[in-house]
A = this chain, B = another copy of it.
C-alpha cells in the first residue's frame, strides 16, 4: 500500500499549511508573552471544521478529508509527534528536585491534586454525566477521569511562564515547578491506571495485571533502567559518531518505551514520558544534544500535533456554554484553593500562595493530550473535549497576567526581592564602627529614619553578639519602626573584622533593617543569607567584583 502522487501532494501541502499557521499564530501569542502552544491550538481550530470547514467547506475537504490514506499518514505522524513531545517533556523534568522536595512543594503538590479531584468528582458524578460522558463507560469511571483531568498541570507551559516572568530560579518558582513535576507524574500514572483498569484497548491483560505492570514499569524505569542508562549514555557518545549515535539512541529508547506501554494497554506517551525523565536525568547527556532535540521537537513536531487537535472537532457545534463555564469554575477553584491553601499551610503569605495557585493552574498541553485520549477511548464526548480544551487555553492564558498581578502586590521580603544595584555600597571603611556608621547613614536616608536611632539599634545588636558568621560574611541587623524590610550590602575589599569564628574578615556585609512587629521576616532573611554563605570561595569572588549589577546577579545565584 503506497500513497499516490495526488495523495503525496495533498499530504505535503497539508503539512506545510499546518506548520505555517501554527508558526504564525504561535508567534503572535509569543509576542504577548503567552506560550506558543495556545496559538498553535487556535491555528488548528481555524484550519479545522470549526472555521475553515464552516466557511469554505470545499477547501477544507480537499485539503484534509479527500483521502482516508492521508488521515492515516497524518495520524502516524502526529502519533510520532506526541510521543516525541512527551519524550522531550520528560527530559525537562528534574528528578533530583522531586526527590528533595521542600515542605511547601509537598503541601502544594499534594493538596493541588487532592482538592481539584475532590471538588470535581461529585460534579462529574452527579451533574456532568448527562452532558459530558462518552459511550463506553459508567459514571464512576467518567467521574474518576474528570477528577484526574482537573487535577493535572502542564509542566512545559508552566516552566515557560516562569521563565517569562523571571521566576524560575526563585524560591517561589522552585516550589511551583517541583509541585508541577510531582503533579504530572501522579496525574499520568493515575490516568494510565484508569485506562488500564477499564480495559478499553483491545488486548488480553486483566485490569489487575495492567496496574501491576504500570507499577513495575515505573519503578523499574526510575530505579533500574535510569542507572543503566546513566552508564550507557557516555559509552554511546564515545563509541558512536556524535551527535548521530546519541540522537538515534534517545529516539530508539523513546519509541520502544512508547510501544511497550501501548502494548500493556496504557498509552504510548506514558512510556515516552518516563523514558524522557530518565534520559534527561543523566548528567552525561551533552547540553547540545538536549538543545538539538528540544528545538527540533518543539518547533517541528509539537506544532504539528497541537494544530492537528483543532482538525478533529468542531469547536462551535460542540460548544456547550454551561459545561464550559462550569468546568472553568471548577478548574480554577480546585487549583487555586488546593495549591494556594497548601502553600499557605506551609507558611507562605497570602500573595505568594495565590501566585503559586495561579502558576499551577495552567493546564496547557497536558490537559489537551489527556482529553484527546479520553475522547478516542470514548470516555468523554466531543462537548466535554471542547470544554476541556477551552479550559486548558483559558487557564494557560490567564496564568501569567494573574501571577504578575499578585507578584506586584506581594510584599518584598526575600533577599532576592530586596536586592538591586542601588543596595550595593562599596566601602573604604577601616573598621567595623566606621563601616556601620557609613551604612546606617545611607539606610536612614533611604528609609526616612533617624540616623542615631538606626546606629543605636545596629550597634546594640553587635555589642550583645558580633554578627560575623564566617566565610567572609557579616549580617549586622536591627528591627526598626518601618513597614517594609530594607537592606544594604556593604562590600569591603580589604575586609572588616566582625569577630567571626573562622577569623575571616567580612567582605560581604548584609546590613538589614526589618519591621519591629514582624519577627518572621527577619528570621527568614537571616536564614536565607546563612544559606547563601556556605561557599567561601564564591563569597570572596563576589566581593572582588567591581560591577554592582554583577554582584547582584552573583548573589542571586548563590
Q: Chain A interface (Cβ within 8 Å of chain B)? A: 1-6, 8-13, 15-16, 19-20, 22-23, 27, 30, 36, 68-77, 79-80, 83, 201-203, 240-241, 243-245, 247-249, 251-252, 255-256, 258-259, 262-263, 265, 268, 292, 295-296, 298-300, 303, 376
Contact = CB atoms under 8 A, between A and B. Distances in A.
A80 B15 contact: yes
A391 to B, nearest CB: 24
Nearest to A303: B248
Given A72-B73, A240-B23, A12 B259 contact: yes
A76 B11 contact: yes
A77 B77 CA distance: 7
Nearest to A247: B299
Contacts of A15: 80, 255
- Considering residues A69, A73, A251, A268, which has the most beta carbons from chain B within 10 angstroms of its beta carbon? A73
A378 B19 CA distance: 33
* Nearest 3 pairs of A and B residues by beta carbon: A73-B76, A12-B259, A244-B299
22 contacts: A1-B71, A2-B75, A5-B265, A9-B259, A12-B259, A12-B262, A12-B268, A15-B80, A16-B252, A19-B251, A23-B240, A23-B244, A27-B241, A30-B241, A36-B244, A73-B77, A73-B79, A74-B76, A243-B299, A244-B295, A244-B299, A248-B299
A549 to B, nearest CB: 24
A255 B6 contact: no
Contacts of A16: 252, 255-256, 259
Contacts of A9: 259, 262-263, 268
Nearest to A11: B76
Contact of A8 (B11, B68, B79): B79
A85 to B, nearest CB: 14
B74 A262 contact: no
Given A2-B71, A23-B248, A23-B249, 17 more contacts: A1-B72, A3-B72, A8-B79, A12-B256, A12-B259, A13-B256, A23-B245, A27-B240, A36-B241, A72-B72, A76-B77, A243-B299, A244-B298, A244-B299, A247-B299, A251-B300, A292-B295
B1 A75 contact: yes
